[in-house]
Structure 1
Amino acid sequence: QNKLIIAPTSIVELFSDEDDPMKLLSKGSDLTIGHYWGKPNWRVPILKQYINYHIGIFGVTGSGKSYLARYEIIPLLRKAGYSLIIMDWKGSDYAPYFEPVILLDKIKVDDFTVLSYFSQLTKNFGYHGREENPVASAFERALRTVEWRGRNPSEARDLLYRKAKSILELEASRLKKMETGQLWLERLDASFELITEEEIEKFLGTMEPWEILAEAKDKGIVVIDMSKGEKEQKLAAFYSIARYLKRLMERKQRLDVALIIDEGPQYAPWQPKGLERETTDLIIDLCALGRSYGLSIVILSQGMAGEIGLNSAVRRNLNTQFIGRIHPLDFEEAQKLAASYYISPETLLTLPEGHFYFLGRMNPSPTPLLISFEIS
């Protein structure tokens, strides 16, 4: 569309199909993504120095988001020297195409995240709004002191319950009021009616986040297959991995890692609640640190804004965007883009599959480029 917009008195150069004006945009760059629409031999260059300013891929189901990621973004990041950790929400977009694959229930979720999960499940162990309480403290100490991971769910649950109970009984023996200690034990029992074997089973994995990073560094790519898990379990595993990456960057360690997050609004929705709030804030922190320490965040999302879209604070950190066919609910957001880049909002509603507007820091062109790509 942009090639039709020519300002009066502009100097115009005509190119034939044999010419390649894309080479003029970024001389010397061997990193490209897709091709200019309708011109398969016009590969579109990218500016490598902005990869860790983070990437957003937006488009409705059927727009070709996962194809763009698989056939263009992932090879590009590997060529640029990044190791990849791919969070495959459904387990069908990336797990069948790349190796190695790590199943969700094999991952060790850190004690802090496990405690947060069960605190939400039990309404803070019966104390509701109060952040600190003796039952939660006893359960946390049990998590940290008992070797419960790697066991069968029944045994692990029993070990945690007995350890937490013994801690509370010891604390209660020091109280003057026996009723207080009895209340603690009753709330522990009530909480463990909700902390079932099925719930414990979600967190029996023993593979540490550092092992996942080491595997990614060794093999170049690692896929986390999240298909066999409930949403809270998926968020907890992601949180554990992402928190480890954050700690490394806080120690000023350069990563050269790309974290690809499929189904972005699951982690950072428009209005996050519960563990979503934690993952949203963590993604924002990763974006801020990643620019300095070589972490590129790539987020795929069906929607751009509002109820179907990505959290606005997260989206503001995605300084390169690929926008395919959008949902009608995103029409207002499309109008804002239209005002900035002279893209027709109606065009964004009707883009063919596999066509994306490329805009932002990685784009060497001052205006968005409409790109497509070949599936081989």
Structure 2
Amino acid sequence: MAINTNPQVFGREIGIVLSGASAGLAPIALRNDAESIVADEQLVVIYDKKYENTLMLGVIRWVHRLEPFLRRGIRTVYTDHPEALEDELVLGYSNAWVEIYGALTDKGISENTRAPHPGSRVFLIEDGSVLSKYISLDKPMIVGEHKYSGWKLPLNHQALRYHVGVFGATGMGKSRLVRALIEEIVDKGYSLIIFDHTGIDYAQPYREKGYGDHIVESSKIKLSPDIIAQLILELSRLSDYYTDYVMAATICYVSMIEGKVSSVEECLGLSTTKQSWGRRRHTQTVINMTGDNGEGKEGIWSKDEYLRVLRTTMENMGARETGIARVRSFINFFLDEGFFDQLNERTITPNELISMAKDKEFIIVDMSTDTHLVVKQAIIADTARAGWKWIALNHKPINLGLVVDEAQNYASEGRSISAIELERIAREGRKWGYFIILVSQRVARDIRTSIRSNLGTVFFSKLQATGDLNEIAGYLDLGKLNEAALAMLAPREFFVAGLMNPLRRPILLRIREVK
């Protein structure tokens, strides 16, 4: 396929290359009739007649207006008397830079290695569909189009396994972009679990669209014993001194009701030659649950039963009677039976959540039904672990993504349990098609370094704080993009850079409507 260098194919001619160009950056002078239509982030091609059958694809950067007499640093009479300055006296002109992204040839797009010669012609790409002749992917993901040319940028879904970040200030349309990603990702055969922090951005609109069976309330998901113990300690206002006792009692309680052990002593690894209270009480618990009439009793958590197990555990661990009484009184006062009733309502295991996502293509977890952040973090951590269990059991790629909304609550610097598990996926998940999509207002400090450095693709709009762009540039090639370019963005406008983008470097997209 020969390259068609007819200007009408790409758009109107807007200028020429000036001296000082390199293979990656070319200064250009704009034609007078093009000054009013050229803007930063437009796509252009450079035609250098000395390079046969090759065009250079680039992006306009730093459009600036100049005048030989009205220069910075030089004071003129017109500063104090602008009325004397007539239009015909102003010899204005415009220059810009083209950041060259690649070379277009009959074989497609490749790295550009040659500098354009001075005088090379520059054409604006007004119809982006022409680029589809040179840049195409098998089963591309389309979440939007280039803001100026309308080019539907094809995104490589195979790069999902290298993880994705979506960053932008409030109101810029992050959730809209993620909903577009959800559509495209599911369409390519992947499964997703979306953790909706507020229950507003994803659970609510999908419920309104008739996807109620795809939504799971976080308050229905089972918690691991260590998280239950943390809640009991926190809500009962017990000091850290009692952590080991409460943790051990909770683990033993769960182990007994799951049938893994038959007594507290067995759970603690102590001698059971003498029948213990734990064994008698556990047997009685089973009788209470099933009932003599066979009707059964809903739930297996009971405040009274838990207190008995806690007492036996503390006695076996050598606690004093005064300490046992203190713990019992605090739990009795600050924890009502409703707390344990809510534990009984948690019937969905993280393993079942993985299976639901595989069956239904995507599941949204409405995290707003839990009020404690540590519980929300634990649900994400336990789900992440369940994904690894699925991989270990099936010995094949899971092709599953975890979408974490308001990721600053779950992947920030520190020792939160969810951040540890998300980091493991970021480091090891690519081999198994196990990936994360993190959505946050900020980058620095909100996302721990070891996670964000493993994000292969990043979508970003206006950022919450200065310096965030430099953070992204620390691990992705952002070229000559600067903070000024972000300041001009409107809602629904995002740059995309990284492995999913066939050009790798930033392209400005306007996000499409979500079906």
Q: Given the superposition, is the C-alpha separation of residues 120 and 246 from structure 1 closer, same or farther in structure 2, using an over 3 Å criterion?
A: farther
1:228 corresponds in structure 2 to 369
How do residues 32-51 of structure 1 correspond to structure 2 at under 5 angstroms?
32-40=142-150, 42-51=151-160
The answer to whether the Cα contact below 8 Å between 1:337 and 1:343 also exists between their aligned partners in 2 is: no
1:3 aligns with 2:146: no
1:333 aligns with 2:468: yes
- Pick one of 194, 206, 222 that aligns with 2:347: 206
TM-score computed with the length of structure 2 as normaliser? 0.62
How do residues 38-117 of structure 1 correspond to structure 2 at under 5 angstroms?
38-40=148-150, 42-70=151-179, 72-98=180-206, 99=211, 100-117=214-231
Partner Cα distance (2:229, 2:397) in 1: 30
1:369 aligns with 2:507: yes
Range 180-189 or range 85-94, more displaced: 180-189
The answer to whether the Cα contact below 8 Å between 2:143 and 2:512 also exists between their aligned partners in 1 is: no
1:237 corresponds in structure 2 to 379
2:436 corresponds in structure 1 to 297
Q: CA deviation at 1:127?
A: 4.4
State the SS of the aligned residue for 2:495. Answer: strand
* Percent identical residues: 24
Which 5+ residue runs of structure 2 have no aligned equivalent?
1-40, 42-57, 61-97, 101-114, 259-284, 290-296
Instruction: Write the deviation string for residues 105-125 of structure 1: whole angstroms up to 9, x where unpaired.
Output: 1111222432344455568x6
State the SS of the aligned residue for 2:302. Answer: helix
1:219 aligns with 2:219: no
1:272 aligns with 2:414: yes
Instruction: Write the deviation string for residues 289-320 of structure 1: whole angstroms up to 9, x where unpaired.
Output: 320111121110011113xx322222112111
Query: Which amino acid in the other structure matches residue 170 of structure 2?
Result: T
The answer to whether the Cα contact below 8 Å between 2:402 and 2:436 also exists between their aligned partners in 1 is: yes
The answer to whether the Cα contact below 8 Å between 1:77 and 1:258 also exists between their aligned partners in 2 is: no
Q: CA deviation at 1:69?
A: 0.8
Partner Cα distance (2:392, 2:426) in 1: 13
Q: CA deviation at 1:140?
A: 2.0
Partner Cα distance (1:73, 1:18) in 2: 21
Q: Which structure shows the bigger proportion of residues in strand conformation?
A: 2
Q: Given the superposition, is the C-alpha separation of residues 374 and 366 from structure 1 closer, same or farther in structure 2, using an over 3 Å criterion?
A: closer
1:354 aligns with 2:492: yes
- Pick one of 424, 431, 441 that aligns with 1:285: 424
Q: Quick check: which has more Rg, 1 or 2?
A: 2
The answer to whether the Cα contact below 8 Å between 1:254 and 1:294 also exists between their aligned partners in 2 is: yes
1:30 corresponds in structure 2 to 140
1:139 corresponds in structure 2 to 250
The answer to whether the Cα contact below 8 Å between 1:135 and 1:184 also exists between their aligned partners in 2 is: no
The answer to whether the Cα contact below 8 Å between 2:248 and 2:313 also exists between their aligned partners in 1 is: no
Q: Which structure shows the bigger proportion of residues in helix conformation?
A: 1
Higher relative contact order (CA 8 A, sep 6+): 1
Partner Cα distance (2:401, 2:309) in 1: 40
The answer to whether the Cα contact below 8 Å between 2:236 and 2:334 also exists between their aligned partners in 1 is: yes
Query: Which amino acid in the other structure matches residue 314 of structure 1?
Result: I
Q: Given the superposition, is the C-alpha separation of residues 217 and 6 from structure 1 closer, same or farther in structure 2, using an over 3 Å criterion?
A: closer
The answer to whether the Cα contact below 8 Å between 1:126 and 1:187 also exists between their aligned partners in 2 is: no
Q: CA deviation at 1:262?
A: 0.5
Instruction: Write the deviation string for residues 156-199 of structure 1: whole angstroms up to 9, x where unpaired.
Output: 22221122223444x27xx7xxxx44145235315524444454
Q: Given the superposition, is the C-alpha separation of residues 186 and 49 from structure 1 closer, same or farther in structure 2, using an over 3 Å criterion?
A: same
The answer to whether the Cα contact below 8 Å between 1:303 and 1:326 also exists between their aligned partners in 2 is: yes
Report the RMSD for the aligned CA atoms in angstroms: 3.0
Range 7-16 or range 21-30, more displaced: 7-16
State the SS of the aligned residue for 1:25. Answer: coil
Q: CA deviation at 1:212?
A: 1.5
Partner Cα distance (2:218, 2:370) in 1: 7
Query: Which amino acid in the other structure matches residue 321 of structure 2?
Result: Q
Partner Cα distance (1:250, 1:190) in 2: 44
1:318 aligns with 2:455: yes
Partner Cα distance (2:223, 2:161) in 1: 26
Q: CA deviation at 1:323?
A: 0.3
Instruction: Write the deviation string for residues 228-254 of structure 1: whole angstroms up to 9, x where unpaired.
Output: 221222222222222211333355442
Q: After TM superposition, what 4+ stretches of structure 1 lie above 6 angstroms from structure 2?
A: 10-13, 147-150
The answer to whether the Cα contact below 8 Å between 1:117 and 1:236 also exists between their aligned partners in 2 is: no
1:246 aligns with 2:376: no
Partner Cα distance (1:86, 1:280) in 2: 16
- Pick one of 479, 483, 501 that aligns with 1:345: 483
Partner Cα distance (1:247, 1:265) in 2: 26
Partner Cα distance (2:427, 2:137) in 1: 29
Which 5+ residue runs of structure 1 have no aligned equivalent?
none
Instruction: Write the deviation string for residues 327-363 of structure 1: whole angstroms up to 9, x where unpaired.
Output: 2x2x123246579421121222331101111001111
Q: Given the superposition, is the C-alpha separation of residues 101 and 332 from structure 1 closer, same or farther in structure 2, using an over 3 Å criterion?
A: same
Q: CA deviation at 1:84?
A: 1.3
Equivalenced residues, count? 355
Q: Given the superposition, is the C-alpha separation of residues 226 and 35 from structure 1 closer, same or farther in structure 2, using an over 3 Å criterion?
A: same
Partner Cα distance (1:226, 1:245) in 2: 19
The answer to whether the Cα contact below 8 Å between 2:398 and 2:432 also exists between their aligned partners in 1 is: yes
Instruction: Write the deviation string for residues 187-216 of structure 1: whole angstroms up to 9, x where unpaired.
Output: 531552444445445533011122222221
Q: Given the superposition, is the C-alpha separation of residues 247 and 117 from structure 1 closer, same or farther in structure 2, using an over 3 Å criterion?
A: farther
State the SS of the aligned residue for 1:343. Answer: coil
